[in-house]
Amino acid sequence: MSWYMQEASQTCYQTISKSWSEIDIIGFGPNGMNFLSQRFNTCRPLKDSQELKSYLQSLYTVAAQYNDPARNPVSVICGGIDSGSYGSDVLSKIYSGLVALRGDGTCQVNPPTSVTETSEGWGWQVKIIALF
């Protein structure tokens, strides 16, 4: 995933890299999960910051894996992040990339309600692939 994002835009890659710790810092703070749920317009309240990070990681991975030239989702996400349509801070830029890809619907983030073997396995494979 990271190679595709770096190829599309170095600043996009840097923003995504910064976002992981930013999500955790805010998520662990007072009223942090409410803030993240509102900021990312989630379909239901987030339980913890890992839910949001897993959702975003999956979104980026799928965009990179299926980065077909017709839709070019990696460039769409990075274009949104770089434009910062929803603000100039890290989380607003990440949200801008999300909206650029998915549109401005009623809710943007719909994390799975339960962990499955498939979702666990996919996350494990993604982490292993990222090491190479």
Cα dist from 6 to 1, 64, 75, 112, 128, whole Å: 9, 11, 10, 28, 19
The answer to whether residues 32 and 48 touch, using CB atoms and an 8 Å cutoff, is no
What digits encode the pLDDT tens for the residues 49-68?
Answer: 999 999 999 999 999 988 88
How many whole angstroms separate alpha carbon 128 and alpha carbon 97? 25
Fold (CATH) for 2-131 = Four Helix Bundle (Hemerythrin (Met), subunit A) (1.20.120)
Q: What is the pTM of this model?
A: 0.80
At 16 the pLDDT is: 96
At 50 the pLDDT is: 96
The token duo for 16 is: 């995504």
- The segments of the chain whose pLDDT lies below 70 read 1-3, 106, 111-132
At 104 the pLDDT is: 84
